[in-house]
Amino acid sequence: MISTKLTELLGIDHPVVCAPMGSVSGGLLTTAVTRAGGLGLVGVSYGDPAFIDDHVAQAARGGGVWGVGCVMFTFDERPGLWDKVLGYAPPVIALSFGDADQVRRYVASAAESGAHVVVQVHDTEQAAVAVQAGASVLVAQGAEAGGHHKTQATLPLVPAVLDITGGTVPVVAAGGFADGRGLAAALALGADGVMMGTRFALTEESLGTPGFKTSLMSAATTDTVNTRAFDVVRGIPWDTVYQARSVSNAFTRAWTGKDTELAARRAEIEPEWTAAVARDDAAQRALFAGEVLDLVQDVRPAASVVHDTVAEAEAILTRLAGAIKP
């Protein structure tokens, strides 16, 4: 068993976190990861009330150490939803994508509820803000990640964030992790665990649709593209410093780099796009996935992902320790 600051703080068995992927990380996946000894997080993302009442409630019934992932800037636009999330008393609240004021406000509110507060950061400036705000845990996410990210790669980001924290809070590495080799590498960098998204998206318990899962399994890392097209067509006001990594499809090929035109034609295009998503059209829907696609080629139970990741990392760390000669 691998013990780190993260496992000790949260009281979990394994330093493996399931990313709170919106429309993918539901109550079933969260509970499965938590029961396997990791940290499962429901991906609330943009704050759909029905999703919260369904999936956050399911995770709460599952018990153990579980959490909810919230995109801060969207909760500011939806009064009442933050209180709805807090009403389920999640032991962990994971916050992402907010400005300095939002980080301070949401960290304070989450901490007041009694939750451990995880804040995702993408550079050292964000890390400093999160530490000063009182975050319990930082997630240092590099540009290899699926979905939204900035530009710095994980390998240099993690130790830079560790330097900012000075060891005061656990740091979880994210972006580019899918197995025990990644976990061992993250621990060698000084991180206290890993957050994995794409690997958990391709699990039996994930909410990913058949079209989504089939597309990811057949795709290679070189098939991914950074795009803002899905944000623009949905009318979500993402800061332009962020792009989202997705498997390339007909929609990204048509609209990546054409944000102004897409925004101008949104009233025309968005209804057709929404209908395509509803019928699981993989040529049109968002297929958010990270650079680990070459490493993820099957759909497995979430518990086996947790256990196999830890077992592989333990074997690697044992082998490396044995290579050190006095």
pLDDT at 99 over 90: yes
pLDDT at 116 over 80: yes
How does residue 45 score in pLDDT terms, banded at 50, 70 and 90?
confident
pLDDT at 253 over 90: yes
Residue 148 CA to residue 143 CA, distance in Å, equals 8
pLDDT tens-digit readout, 178-187? 999 999 999 9
pLDDT tens-digit readout, 273-284? 999 999 999 999
Average pLDDT over residues 191-214: 98
Question: In Å, what is the CA distance from 110 to each residue of 6, 105, 136, 235, 256?
Answer: 18, 9, 11, 28, 36
How does residue 210 score in pLDDT terms, banded at 50, 70 and 90?
very high
Average pLDDT over residues 201-230: 97
* Per-residue pLDDT at 77: 86
List the structure tokens of 133. 């705000």
How does residue 23 score in pLDDT terms, banded at 50, 70 and 90?
confident
Percent of the chain with pLDDT over 90: 94
Average pLDDT over residues 193-217: 97
Residue 62 phi/psi, 5-degree rounding, is: -70, -30
pTM listed for this prediction: 0.96
> Alpha helix (H) ranges present in the chain?
5-10, 27-35, 49-51, 57-62, 72-75, 81-86, 100-112, 124-133, 154-165, 180-189, 198-201, 210-218, 229-234, 250-255, 259-264, 266-278, 302-322
pLDDT at 47 over 90: no
What's the per-residue H, E or C state across 101-165? HHHHHHHHHHHHCCCEEEEEECCHHHHHHHHHHCCCEEEEECCCCCEEECCCCHHHHHHHHHHHH
Where along the chain do its domains lie? Answer: 5-205+296-321, 220-278
**CATH class (in words) of the domain with range 5-205+296-321:** alpha beta
Percent of the chain with pLDDT over 70: 100
Residue 227 CA to residue 253 CA, distance in Å, equals 10
Mean of the per-residue pLDDT values of the chain: 97
Strands 194-196 and 171-174 come out as parallel
In what order do the strands lie in the sheet containing 116-121?
A: 16-18, 194-196, 171-174, 137-141, 116-121, 92-96, 66-71, 40-45
Cβ-based neighbour number of residue 107 at 10 Å: 24
How does residue 171 score in pLDDT terms, banded at 50, 70 and 90?
very high
Question: In Å, what is the CA distance from 184 to each residue of 2, 177, 178, 193, 315?
Answer: 10, 10, 11, 9, 9
* Per-residue pLDDT at 243: 96
List the structure tokens of 6. 């993260």
How does residue 79 score in pLDDT terms, banded at 50, 70 and 90?
confident
